[in-house]
Every structure is written in structure tokens, then in C-alpha cells.
Chain A
């Protein structure tokens, strides 16, 4: 069975709902970059907009832009990944609880604080009663949601799926994570991503929706093979399991022409990407994306988006290449998107031209 990415819609720190970053990326000018929001009025009713925080508005807008109105109720499943959930609503309720000594609290922020608010609000907007799930597992939150969607296709239980990855970074959480060394003390330059020498990254925000189907359509972006998740794998396990899953697509590691890597400017993080990409696919072109999208728990979704867009446009812009001049003449055909979170959890996703 083949599964395809039919459409992707993203809102992030790049121009919303567009692939403009391919030609004209916006580079970070701050340590903490917030969503560039589209004109929500075009997509959401004033009542909906009033009720919802930015993250939910972005998630609904990306979902609306991904699935045509006539197909929404027929969607077989909604799979969401969010590392922190609706953290701004969580913070508002928490702060108010602490300030008011647990008295006279309004439930609104609590209601919209749970991680599954995103997936269920999309289901409500779509009137979709199918499988609905939310994963919140650090850097593998999106990857888990994607894995679950592909699993349901393989079990022949679904024929279409919306996979959404949403994370916001509130001002307060930015400060908290600053104390844990998540962020660099200065504004990141692209050079920090290509030759990291210090720790930390810069904060981005993202809400990206993928429409997956088991039928190829006119504007299908690419085929999505499978995703393998790992936990503290040995090199042998990484190679063996990747080789095994590629073989089910009649591919070997040698067939991989491009690898999408999550370099985020943190020296330890980036060295691990260099190490495993050299271990698995030393010959492949190395593409990076977090230098323009920033870091979040679900930023790996942007890696899949970048890979799918490059396959679809049959072009890899030079600003995405880890090594200058490595562009080569061949077009991207078989891409692996590699993700790891602090050298603990790993995922490898196969994208193919179709």
C-alpha cells in the first residue's frame, strides 16, 4: 500500500500558508520568534477567534487550509502532536490559581489547557467522529502522531488522515527554558547551525497540518513511506531497523539521495545529527531547516514538510544545504527525515517522489 502527502499547510515564523521560505526565507532577528499569523478573519468566524488563543487559531487555520470543506466530515482520523499543549492557557490558569489562592477561578483557560484541545477543536470544526488522538512526547510528539496515522493506514482502517503538529512558546516558558539552557544567549546566525560551537538554539513556533491519503491525486506532494521510532538505539539497531524498513520499499540506504536533519545550533545536538547521518547515509545531501524555523518539541514536522516540498518542487534551495556547493545535479527522489531528541528518542521517516 502507498500512502501520500496530498497537502501541507503551515503557520510558523515564516510567511504563513505559503512556501515562500523556499525562495525567500526570513532569518531570525530575535532569540524568541513568535508565529507570523495569517489574517484569521479569512478562515475563522469572529466568535471562534474570540474564544481561542493564538495556537488554536493557527491549528484550525492550518487544518482548514489542508482539507477542503467537502472532505472534512469524511476524514477518517485526526492525529495531533504537541509537546507542551496549549501552554499559554495552562499558564493563565496556573497564574490565576496561584495569585488568587485557588479562589474564584474562571474555567475558560482550564478547559482549553489540555493537550488534546487542539485535536478535538479540529474534530469539532470538521464534525469528524473518526479516530482522534494526541501525543505529547517531547521531541517525538509529532513523529508519534505520524507513526499512529501510518499504522492505521497499514491496518487498512483509514483512507485519509489529518496529522497536525502544534507548539507555541509563551514568553513565560521561553524564560523558564532559558534557565535550563535551551536557548542561546545571542541571536542565532546560519553559521551557528552549520558549525555549532556552543549550546542552545532559538525558539520557534509551529502549527502544521498534513493531509495523508492512500490515493494519488493531481497535486499530491510525495509518497510517505513509513516512520520508525527508536529509543536510545545502538548504531547497529539504527542501521538494522532502517535497512529493514527501507527494504519493504525495495530500497537500500544507498538509494537515499537526501537526508533532512534537525541541526538546531546546539553543538551536542548537531554533532549527533552529523554522526548518525554519516553512519546511515554518508553519501546523501544534508538539508537543514531549523535555522529558519527555530526549535520546538514538534519542529520535526517542519522537517517532513521541508522534505516533501523539496521533492514536490524537485529542487533544494542552497540556503537549506548544510554544506555549501553540495547541491549536485540530481533531483531529490528518496529522502530520509532524521530526528532525535537529546540523543534519547529518534525517528526516521521515508519520503519518496511519486
Chain B
């Protein structure tokens, strides 16, 4: 049997605050932070978002970075989460370690601000900071000498796919450890993009509710330190949990809509179970993708029914707390799921009241204590890039 892959570090920033502790507190108290944006300069101030409270300057100060250091918000969020992930893992030697980041927005949040001035040769430093990889390099270089680094951009499943790639690299013996996750700041670009698709809720979202009108965008970043069990043991690391299984599949139907059969979501969940060598009855809780759009919530429900039949495990969408953190979501929700797993509670799907007629599924409406051993988290993206990850409590081999 292949060696276990374990999680030894985690870090997070979202509208719930900086760090695992603040996130846990908000989840337990059912406190969400979705409201008027303060930092994003948009005309659409009526659209609520899960914006990170800290300004760029506050994040710089938190990180001890000079105020004149050129960096966009997406890597700043990543640095904040990565710092915590590395601290909790206690990992100091990054030589045989890969750094894999997921993002789509990249430096857009500054490009959209300076775009017209770029053509006059102004703010050119933000032209080179625009592409997705630029931020990854800045983040990676701040924290160590990695064996290599790369950036995944599969829209809303980017961070989940970075976890999956990291695990595969460890499995194949390419690296001993990987720092995996994703980051995304709000941008006018994607706020307007989602708005033009008419899938933004103008109230705080209530995923899986029949009267919900769409999603709230959020921002944030989260990273995990994953490694071979033997590597973690050798360096005496505290093992948080196991990454038990995962799968990356494609719906192959439409750029923004889901197939009627929910093929991609169905395959992601069932192949992840297969990969973990687990039965459907082994899953104690599912952190659903649950964006709040009709398309996602109906089709994810259909896929849940296809995979789990009559016995769908308790599930909730914590996007009702953070908003949809897009490329970071896979990691943000993995960290939330790990917090839930380690503390034996299932976070609420805030605001839910009535199930969708077509599927009738009810998520957990209040944060509930429960002994958890194995949990699943879903991340589905534009283009049908669908992935699922399964985490289990660590059992000594």
C-alpha cells in the first residue's frame, strides 16, 4: 500500500479574519462577514461581498513587508495564509518541497486600475505583475527555496487541483512535501463578469435554498503543508489529518453551465471515494461547493443523489460565511473542513430555509457537534473543471 499523505500545516485568510482560530470562532458562532465592500473600488456598491477586512497596507504590516514593495492583493493574501501554514507545520527546510499555487485573478486587481495608464508607460511594474505566475513567484520567494513552483488556473477549482497535484508529486516520490493551495482577491473584473452573467445575489447568499438568487463573491487564500507520513514523522511534526483521496474530472459540457446528468461532479466525488478506497457510508460530512447559483446547487444536489443515493451525508456550503473565494475556494474550504474535522463539528449552511423543489435536499442549518472521521470537500469550476478531496482523522500507521 502506498504511503499515507498527511497534512501538517494549514493557514487561512478570508472575510472571517486572519488565521485558523478566528475562522473556527466564526464557524462555531455562525458569524458571517458578507456585506458592503470597503477596499474594492467598484460602482456596484450594492452587491455584497465577502471582502477581507484588512487593507493592502494592513496586510503588509501584518507580514512585516515594506510599504513600497510592489505587490498586488492576490499574493498579499497568499503570503498571509502561507505564513500561518508554515508556522503550524514547523517545516523549515524547503529544499525537496514544491510550492503550488492556484489563482485566476492574478494581478488583475491592479491592472484594471491602471490599464489606461499602462499605455502611457506608467505603473509598468504592474504590467509584469499581471499574470498568474508573477504572484506565485513573489509569494514563494518570500518563504523559502523551493524545489520548484508552479501555478494552476482552473477557475474555481484551482486550489483543489493544486492540492491534488501536490499529493501526486509526493506519491510519485518527486518531492517529500508540498505547499499547496490558492489565493484570489476581489477584482472589478470578475465582480462585473459574474454580474453580467446575472448570478450575483444582492442579499447574503443562502446556498441550496429555493429562493436564493445567486452567489456572493468573496476573497481569501489558504494553504496546506502536505507531506509523506514518514517525512512528517522524521521531523517530529504534529500531524493534523490525512489527505485520504481526491479526483480531478471534467464535465465536458459547457463553459459556464453544468450537464443535466452532472457528470463532472458525479465523477469527481465517486472517483475521489475510489481513490481513497472508501465507501459512501464512510463520509461523515460534505463541505459542498454550494455557490448559491441555481445551476450549481441543483446539479450538485443531483450529483450527491447519484453518488450517495438515499443516504446523503450531512452537508453544508460554507460559502454562506465567506462568499465564493473562487480560485482560493478549494483551499479555503479544505482548511474549514479540516477545522471541522479536528474539532468535531459541522458548520452551518447559514440562511437556508426552503429546499429546491427539484431535489429537495436540506443542508445543515446550524453548526452542529458531531464526531467526524472522514469528510469530503467539493470544488467545481467554470469549464467543468470539477474536483473533490477527502480528509480523514490521522491514524498512526
> Which A302-339 residues have C-beta < 8 A from chain B?
none
Taking a contact as CB atoms under 8 Å apart, the answer to whether B189 and A93 are in contact is yes
Say whether, besides A84-B131, A123-B384, A179-B124, A231 and B250 are in contact (CB < 8 Å).
no
CB-defined interface of B306-330 with A at 8 Å, one 1/0 digit per residue? 0000000000000000000000000
Q: A110-B197, A117-B255, A129-B252 are in contact. Are A136 and B131 (CB under 8 A)?
A: yes
Instruction: Report if B43 contacts A (CB, 8 A).
Output: yes
Cβ of A176 within 8 Å of any chain B Cβ, yes or no, is: yes
Q: Which of B136, B153, B190 contacts A134 (CB 8 A)?
A: B153
Cβ of B192 under 8 Å from chain A: yes
Q: Which residues of A contact B140 (CB under 8 A)?
A: 231
Pick from A98, A105, A113, A229: contact of B150, CB below 8 A.
A229
A107→B161 contact, CB < 8 A:
no
CB of B172 closer than 8 Å to a CB of A: yes
Chain A contacts for B168, CB-based, 8 A? 148, 151-152, 155
| Complex: chain A residue closest to B268, CB-CB | A129
Bound-state Cα–Cα, A147 to B124, Å:
32
Across the interface, name the chain B residue whose C-beta is closest to A140: B150
- In the complex, the answer to whether B252 meets A119 with C-beta atoms within 8 Å is no
Contacts of B253 in A (CB 8 A): 124
Inter-subunit contact A111/B255 (CB<8 Å) = yes
B69 within 8 A of A: no
A131, B275: Cα distance in complex, Å: 13
For residue A344, which residues in chain B have a CB less than 8 angstroms away from its CB? Answer: 137
List the A side residues contacting B192 at CB < 8 Å: 93, 97, 102, 105, 110
Given contacts A136-B132, A137-B133, A179-B121, contact A112 B255 (CB under 8 A): yes
Q: Do A138 and B193 touch across chains, with their CB atoms under 8 A apart?
A: no
- Chain A residues with CB under 8 A of B161: 133
Q: Would A176 and B153 count as touching, CB distance under 8 A?
A: no
B169 to chain A, nearest CB (A): 7
Residue of A nearest to B99 (CB): A231
- Complex: how many Å from CA A116 to CA B116? 26
Residue ID in chain B nearest A178 by CB atoms = B121
| Chain A residues, CB < 8 A from B190 | 110
Q: Which of A78, A98, A121 contacts B255, CB < 8 Å?
A: A121
Interface string of B167-191 (1 = CB under 8 A from A): 0110110100000000000001110
Chain B residues whose C-beta falls within 8 Å of the C-beta of A155 in the assembled complex: 168, 171-172
The B113-155 residues at the A interface (CB cut-off 8 A) are 115-116, 118-119, 121, 124, 127-128, 131-134, 136-137, 140, 145-155
Q: Verify A230–B148 contact, CB threshold 8 A.
A: yes
Whether the pair A130, B189 counts as a contact (CB closer than 8 A) is: no
B395 within 8 A of A: no
A10-42 interface bits toward B, Cβ cutoff 8 Å, 1 = contact, 0 = none: 000000000000000000000000000000000
Q: Does A225 contact B (CB under 8 A)?
A: no
Contact with B along A139-151 (1 / 0, CB 8 A): 0110010011001
State the Cβ distance, A160 to closest chain B Cβ, in Å.
15
Distance in Å from the Cβ of A295 to the closest Cβ of chain B? 14
- Determine which residue in A98, A123, A134, A152 has the highest number of CB atoms from chain B within 10 A of its CB, and name it: A134
* A180: Cβ under 8 A from any B Cβ: yes
Is the CB of B343 closer than 8 A to any CB of chain A? no
B249 within 8 A of A: yes
Query: Of the candidates A101, A105, A229, A230, which one forms a contact with B195 in the assembled complex, judged by CB atoms under 8 Å apart?
Result: A105
Minimum C-beta distance from B312 to chain A (A): 23
Known pairs A107-B193, A140-B150, A230-B148; A148 contacts B165 (CB<8 A): yes
When chains A and B are docked, how far (Å) is the Cα of A297 from the Cα of B254? 27
Q: Judge whether A180 and B127 touch: CB under 8 Å.
A: yes
Q: Which of these, A128, A136, A176, A229, contacts B118 with CB under 8 Å?
A: A176
Interface size on A, residues (CB 8 A): 64
Q: Are A107 and B252 in contact (CB under 8 A)?
A: no
Task: Please provide the chain B residues from 24 to 48 with a CB less than 8 Å away from any CB of chain A in the complex.
Answer: 42-44
Q: When the two chains form their complex, are residues B104 and A114 in contact, meaning their CB atoms are under 8 A apart?
A: yes
* Interface check B256, CB cutoff 8 A: yes
A101 closest partner in B (C-beta): B43
Q: Is there a chain A Cβ closer than 8 Å to B196's Cβ?
A: yes
A141 CB to nearest chain B CB (Å): 7
A121–B251 Cα distance when bound, in Å, is 11
**Are B119 and A123 closer than 8 Å at their CB atoms?**
no
Give B197's nearest chain A residue, CB to CB.
Answer: A107
Chain B residue nearest to A157 (CB atoms) is: B168
The minimal Cβ–Cβ distance linking A230 to chain B, given in whole angstroms, is: 6
State A128–B385 Cα separation when bound (angstroms).
11
* Chain A proximity of B1: nearest CB distance (Å): 14
Q: Answer yes or no: A94 CB below 8 A from chain B CBs.
A: yes
Cβ contact of B172, chosen from A140, A154, A175, A229, cutoff 8 A: A154
Given A115-B104, A155-B168, A231-B140, A132-B385 contact (CB < 8 Å): yes
Which chain A residue lies CB-closest to B149? A231
B249 — which chain A residues lie within 8 A by C-beta? 129-132
Are B381 and A180 within 8 A (Cβ)?
no
Q: Is A164 an interface residue (CB 8 A)?
A: no
Report B-chain residues with C-beta under 8 Å of the C-beta of A229.
147-148, 150
A250 within 8 A of B: no
B264 at the interface (CB under 8 A from A): yes
Q: How far is the CA of A344 from the CA of B138 in the complex (A)?
A: 11
| A-side contacts of B43, CB under 8 Å | 101-103
| A232 at the binding interface (Cβ < 8 Å) | yes
Residues of B within 8 A of A105 (CB): 192-193, 195-196
Q: Determine how close the nearest CB of chain B comes to the CB of A203; give it in whole angstroms.
A: 14
Contact A133 B152 (CB under 8 A): yes
Flag whether B77 is at the interface (Cβ < 8 A).
no
The reply to whether the CB of B301 lies closer than 8 angstroms to some CB of chain A is no
Q: Is B112 an interface residue (CB 8 A)?
A: yes
- Contact of A134 with B111 in the complex, beta carbons under 8 Å: no
Q: Indicate whether B248 reaches chain A with its CB closer than 8 angstroms.
A: yes
B382 within 8 A of A: yes
User: Which of B42, B150, B155, B382 is within 8 Å of A144, CB to CB?
Assistant: B150
User: Chain B residue with minimal CB distance to A115?
Assistant: B153
Decide yes or no whether A294 CB sits under 8 A from chain B.
no
Q: Top 6 nearest A-B pairs by Cβ distance? A: A120-B383, A110-B193, A138-B133, A132-B250, A229-B148, A137-B133
- Can you give 12 contacting A-B residue pairs, CB < 8 Å? A93-B192, A97-B188, A97-B189, A102-B43, A110-B190, A110-B193, A115-B104, A124-B255, A136-B106, A138-B133, A151-B165, A230-B147
16 more A-B contacts (CB under 8 A) besides A131-B249, A134-B153? A93-B189, A97-B189, A98-B112, A105-B193, A106-B196, A115-B154, A116-B382, A116-B383, A120-B385, A124-B252, A128-B252, A132-B250, A134-B385, A136-B133, A144-B151, A344-B137
